[in-house]
Chain A
Amino acid sequence: MEIAPLIISLVYQALTAGAFLVLCSIGLMIVLGMMNIINLAHGEIMMIGAYVASLLVTEGLPFFLTLPFCFLVGVLVGLVIEFLFIRYLYSRILSALVLTWGLGLIIAQGALLIYGPFLPSIKIPFGSIEYGGFTYSIYQLFLIFVAALLVALIYFILQKTELGLKARATMQNPEIASTIGINKKKMFSITFAFGAGLAALAGGVLAPTTTIAPFMGTQFVAPAFITVVVGGATNIITGTLYSAGSLAAIRTPIGMYLGSFAGTVGLFFAALILIRLYPNGLASIRLFGRR
């Protein structure tokens, strides 16, 4: 077996796994990372995004045009959930956990009752390319690109816009932020809704690769939480990138040589070790000395 194609295949697999982790955690990054709300309905919001995509594709809309709708529906759902439930729970993390878990169950079971055990699946767009005995799905490459794009977008919004500045200020210290004129409640709503919208968008983008069923959210929840927690809250963007990168980089060679079960075990082990070494998350590592 030649080395070069094998290395390329391993890099592709690692990037794919990393992109999957980033896409799972992109909504949670905002909600858990910035607002410290444990949103156990995260998987179900991704499921809502996938459902929107599937329903619109069945109506005849081309797949890529459904993605803005996924985002918008996610934002709406986020606004509703925040308005009805979350705004009373900002200081009560455990209550938020229980409530969002219940919400997740209601959403999933509701989808089962309304739409049945599954929706028509979306054909994966594009084809594949072949190199050195391995074939690569072009859509997976597209997912890698989308993951990078979304992270860049969040960075831009948070760091370079005034809205992002206000959001960061509110998350850091809501009381002082409100004294300088930022509307605390509005900021919380907007931030949570944005997180939900991103989650739904990620669900829509991942929809062609999975079965679209009411309980599909469960496959995303564990990877999302692991990635965000290992990344830490110090800096949500670099945290998520570092953790997705390291977990994927550890999981891929193990999975390639020992099977996917060993890969999953390896991922959890790596998360365990990383959290033990860096309890505040990977983002708290200062690579180049103190600032």
Chain B
Amino acid sequence: MDQNKEEMTAKNEIVESDGSTRRTFIKGSLAVGAALAVPAIITSKSAKAASHSAAVKIGHLEDLSGNLAVYGVQKDHAAQLAVSEINAGLTLKGGPVGSGGLGAFGNVAAQPPLMGVGKGDLNYVNDGGGRSKEAVTFTEDDEILVNSGDDGILGRPVELINLDGQSNNNVWQQLTRKLIQGDKVDCLVAGFTSAEREAIRPIVDQFKQLYIYTNQYEGGVADANTFCTGAICEQQVIPVVDYMVKTFGPRIYTIAADYNFGQLTAAWTKATAPLVGGEIIEEEFVPLSVSDFSTSIARIQAAKPDWVFTLLVGSNQSNYYPQASAAGLEYPMASTVNMAQGYEHRRFSAPSLNRMHNCVNYIEEIPTKRNRDFVQRWYKMFPNDPYIGQMAQNTYFSIHMYAKAARLAGTTEQEAVKKALESGMSIEAPEGTVFMEPATHHAGHYIRLAVADAEHNVQFLREWPMITPWWLHRMGVNLVGKKEYKQYIPDEDPYFTMFGK
């Protein structure tokens, strides 16, 4: 009888050596699984109950090491400063429109003030001379940091999760996934180079993550999840090329970093030149790893331009400036990135950046009172920092802007905050009033034309209180009416080749 039973058992099911069977194994694993799940069920319930006192998570990803660390560290500090201010119950002024200011008629100095190297405070080398010119003047609010009336965001503390992308696009993609899927951040603020942004934007779109890109770039991103608060070519390339052609002459030599940003910005320059009477005589695209510029310098000398447009990115490429200066290259230069972003005028000895012109939305030397207060706040928190660059200020006001949008929406739920950011928001940043344009998700900025002299002091020759991001409008983009997820490039715009030769 027993033997039969055993045979039956052997035919119907496999019996393990310790007497267990497949059935008992399944039962056992179900029991274990249920036991493991119980704590998860319990905590998720309590997590939901406790969610409105859990922290608001802002994910921040920048290069803190590698070729691009010189830019990433300042942006990281900007994020920390903004989050500490939000948690202290402070915010930047703002609303649907900018605060405006008092316009008046007055006497001003004939030259703009000359700003030199300060430390923790801005240093007037001279204030432009005696009051000898008549002009319409305009005053801005001095105090931009005010009480938010809130504790953190909507009563919840803000937690900054800041990671290091290591100047490596693969690492960027991994860390973006970690922030979105693992940490489940409420807002992602990330990206320096356009290559990094484009590497992570598909991941952002896959998860519909609210993403703020705070760097200046070549323009064109039309993405319903992405808000670009940096300056773009309409604001940086067109004014500086216009000024340089009128002041120095029409022959332009472009030397640019060889990746999407350099190529596209060079295309913008090529399109702008005929509109202002200029001509690109030669373009050179330099790989990001190159640091020896003897050949490039010789080519520039052979071409004999009137001025040089430099779009060099990264520590390797910024070696162009001391090498060109040592080789006696003395052309006036213009850029949209150098000086404001990588503070070459502080890193390299004079006169490497003599006659460098840059249209910037922010540079540390802006002499207004609101900026002087911001600079002091910064150096109080980070006394050893070498400079506050353009992108650092962008990150600073962008995080404050996110906080204001979340308060307007009444929640940190991402779709609601995106709608709040499209409501028509202005924020009083250290640069001036910044307007978040709803249809294009880009920002209108206060633009200044900065120029460095032979001692690397900075002066602001021209100012445009508001330049709007109009190019995507011309391309027919309206992200509020029709959602898109792409980047437009100059090739798609027939206007780029319409004028000139």
Query: Which of the listed residues B66, B67, B298, B301 has the most CB atoms from chain A within 10 Å of its own CB?
Result: B298
Q: Given contacts A214-B65, A260-B284, is CB(A252)–CB(B70) below 8 Å?
A: no
Q: Given contacts A17-B294, A121-B347, A214-B69, is CB(A137)–CB(B326) below 8 Å?
A: yes
- Is B111 engaged at the interface, CB distance under 8 Å to the other chain? no
Q: Is the CB of B322 within 8 A of A136?
A: no
Q: Given contacts A109-B65, A116-B384, A117-B69, is CB(A211)–CB(B295) below 8 Å?
A: no
Residues of A within 8 A of B69 (CB): 112, 117-118, 213-215
- Is B30 engaged at the interface, CB distance under 8 Å to the other chain? no
Q: Given contacts A13-B298, A17-B292, A134-B301, is CB(A260)–CB(B70) below 8 Å?
A: no
Q: How far does the alpha carbon of A137 sit from the alpha carbon of B327 in the complex, in Å?
A: 4
Q: How far does the alpha carbon of A118 sit from the alpha carbon of B73 in the complex, in Å?
A: 11
- Is B498 engaged at the interface, CB distance under 8 Å to the other chain? no
- Closest residue of B by beta carbon distance from A127: B328
Q: Given contacts A116-B384, A137-B328, is CB(A211)–CB(B284) below 8 Å?
A: no
Q: Is the CB of B294 within 8 A of A13?
A: yes
Query: Which of the listed residues A12, A16, A126, A129 has the most CB atoms from chain B within 10 Å of its own CB?
Result: A16
Q: List 29 A-B contacts (CB under 8 A).
A: A9-B298, A9-B302, A13-B295, A116-B73, A118-B69, A121-B322, A124-B323, A127-B326, A128-B328, A134-B298, A135-B327, A137-B328, A208-B322, A209-B319, A209-B326, A211-B318, A211-B347, A213-B70, A213-B315, A216-B316, A219-B291, A219-B316, A255-B295, A259-B285, A259-B286, A260-B290, A260-B293, A261-B285, A263-B295
Q: How far does the alpha carbon of A79 sit from the alpha carbon of B290 in the complex, in Å?
A: 31
- Is A98 engaged at the interface, CB distance under 8 Å to the other chain? no
Q: Is the CB of A128 within 8 A of B290?
A: no
Residues of B within 8 A of A128 (CB): 326-328
Residues of A within 8 A of B286 (CB): 259-261
- Is B296 engaged at the interface, CB distance under 8 Å to the other chain? yes
Residues of B within 8 A of A211 (CB): 70, 291, 315-316, 318-319, 347
- Closest residue of B by beta carbon distance from A16: B294
Q: How far does the alpha carbon of A219 sit from the alpha carbon of B296 in the complex, in Å?
A: 17
For chain B, give the interface size range: 35 or more
Interface residues of B in 281-332 (CB under 8 A from A): 284-287, 289-296, 298-299, 301-302, 304, 315-316, 318-319, 322-323, 325-329
Interface residues of B in 17-72 (CB under 8 A from A): 65-67, 69-70
Nearest chain B CB to A67's CB is how many angstroms away?
A: 18
What per-residue 1/0 map shows which CB atoms of A135-171 lie under 8 Å from chain B?
A: 1110110000000000000000000000000000000
Closest 4 CB pairs of A and B: A128-B328, A135-B328, A124-B326, A123-B349
For chain A, give the interface size range: 35 or more
Q: How far does the alpha carbon of A109 sit from the alpha carbon of B164 in the complex, in Å?
A: 12
Q: Given contacts A13-B298, A140-B294, A256-B295, is CB(A219)–CB(B329) below 8 Å?
A: no
Q: Is the CB of A264 within 8 A of B319?
A: no
Residues of A within 8 A of B453 (CB): none
- Is B151 engaged at the interface, CB distance under 8 Å to the other chain? no
Mark A residues whose CB is within 8 Å of B: 1, 6, 9, 12-13, 16-17, 20, 109, 112, 116-118, 120-121, 123-124, 126-130, 133-137, 139-140, 208-211, 213-216, 218-219, 222, 252, 255-256, 259-261, 263-264
Interface residues of B in 456-485 (CB under 8 A from A): none
Q: How far does the alpha carbon of A154 sit from the alpha carbon of B67 in the complex, in Å?
A: 33
Q: Is the CB of A210 within 8 A of B299?
A: no
Q: How far does the alpha carbon of A140 sit from the alpha carbon of B294 in the complex, in Å?
A: 9
Q: Is the CB of B348 within 8 A of A121?
A: yes
Q: How far does the alpha carbon of A134 sit from the alpha carbon of B290 in the complex, in Å?
A: 22
Q: Is the CB of B329 within 8 A of A135?
A: yes
Q: How far does the alpha carbon of A12 sit from the alpha carbon of B298 in the complex, in Å?
A: 10
- Is B258 engaged at the interface, CB distance under 8 Å to the other chain? yes
Nearest chain A CB to B229's CB is how many angstroms away?
A: 23
Interface residues of B in 313-369 (CB under 8 A from A): 315-316, 318-319, 322-323, 325-329, 347-349
Q: Is the CB of A259 within 8 A of B301?
A: no
- Closest residue of B by beta carbon distance from A213: B315
- Closest residue of A by beta carbon distance from B287: A261
- Closest residue of B by beta carbon distance from A220: B291
Residues of A within 8 A of B293 (CB): 260
Contacts A211-B70, A256-B299 supplied; 17 other A-B pairs, CB < 8 Å: A12-B298, A117-B73, A118-B347, A133-B304, A134-B302, A137-B326, A137-B327, A208-B322, A208-B326, A209-B292, A209-B319, A213-B69, A216-B315, A252-B295, A255-B295, A260-B293, A261-B286
